[in-house]
Amino acid sequence: MQRPSKATNEEDKDFIDVSGNKDKGILKKILKEGDGNLCPEGVVAIVHYTGKLTNGTVFDSSRKRRAPFTFNIGRRQVILGWDKGVATMQRGEICIMKLAPEYAYGSGGVGPIPPNSTLIFEIELVGWKQKSPDLLGLPIERVGQLLGIVICFVFAYYYFIKS
């Protein structure tokens, strides 16, 4: 991972660029230090967050729902800024991340988020857990359930139709 660089304008002076390309697309300011290793790729990250537009309007919050949000790091299940930004966090860390539109929802926007919006998130990395093993892109538990259903159909076919 490339070393983060400091943001250059006065408003962002306490932020570091964690985009990896030094394009200032993901700016991060640590509010509370975490401890231990950085969140590794391929794990299920557990976060609390509040997302705001630059005018201060809150558009989403896991804290209001009183339930943390989980996603697989590095699997593009979330916006690019989250995939890259959360991977720079330590367990217990709380930070502010400013995401340029190309690291958020871009020119399309989504729901209450207008096109080409810079988004501001307060994110707490509660922790992470190992991703469940999968087969053909499905969790192993689901594969077992589907296999059971298939066996029942095959048995019914041979028992009722072939006999």
Our answer to whether residue 60 is catalytic in this structure is: yes
Tell me which of 46, 79, 113, 120 is the catalytic residue.
Answer: 79
Tell me which of 30, 60, 71, 96 is the catalytic residue.
Answer: 60
Our answer to whether residue 79 is catalytic in this structure is: yes
Structure tokens at 61: 């919050």
Tell me which of 15, 17, 46, 49 is the catalytic residue.
Answer: 49
Tell me which of 59, 69, 71, 94 is the catalytic residue.
Answer: 59
> By C-alpha distance, which of 107, 105, 89 is closest to 97?
89
Our answer to whether residue 121 is catalytic in this structure is: yes
Tell me which of 46, 83, 103, 105 is the catalytic residue.
Answer: 105
Active-site residue set: 49, 59-60, 79, 105, 121
